[in-house]
Amino acid sequence: MMNVNVNAFYFINNSLQNPFFDAVMPTLSNAGGFLTLLALCILAVIASKYLKREKCLEIAKLCLFALILSGIIAGCLKLCFHSPRPFTVLANVRQLVIPTEPNSFPSGHTSSTLSVVTVLVWKLRKHKLICGLLILFAFLIGFSRIYVGVHYPLDVITGATVGIISGVIVLVIKKRLEVKL
């Protein structure tokens, strides 16, 4: 399994190298960070409250809770596994960004992004184009983390799973709380 993980990493990190991706992927990669998404969620909560948009406020709060849950889970997994970043153990890695912490598994950026995107896609499911763009954005965040040299594919897949599960947990809890006993 590790050989497939490393081979897939090298394919994305080295074989897909091109000037367009080199310019776009570092910025895109950072867009999925926990702090970036936390700031956006908080701004969405404040703006929704100020504009008295109850439905938007509910969605913004759900996104915030899912993001926090995914951050806790991903952070705990990083502490448990202490998996080194690819650029620290492999040769010929094209590292295009500097990570904020040393542990690779799972991808926190992917987890954060998918937690928010899961909530948004569920709440906006009638808007197919928006949902499609959100899913594409989430995929590109995960892809970018490999491309910029800071995560293996398995880190991204696990991060995506953590994010989706976090979003679903928050949505299920919200649904359960709405049920009158």
Whether 10 maps to a domain, the answer reads no
d(CA 102, CA 78): 9
**Dihedrals φ, ψ of 7, to 5°?**
-60, -45
> Can you list the residues of the chain whose pLDDT is less than 70?
1-2, 179-181
pTM of the model: 0.92
Interval 62-87: pLDDT, tens: 999 999 999 999 999 999 998 999 99
Number of domains in the chain: 1
Helices (H), the chain: 2-10, 19-31, 34-50, 54-81, 86-89, 108-123, 128-147, 153-178
d(CA 179, CA 5): 44
d(CA 109, CA 7): 22
Q: Please give the distance of CA 1 from its chain centroid, rounded to a whole number.
A: 23
Range of the domain at 103: 25-174
Whether 135 maps to a domain, the answer reads yes
Whether 3 maps to a domain, the answer reads no
Whether 73 maps to a domain, the answer reads yes
Q: Please give the distance of CA 62 from its chain centroid, rounded to a whole number.
A: 16
CA dihedral 62, 78, 29, 12 (to 10 degrees): -130
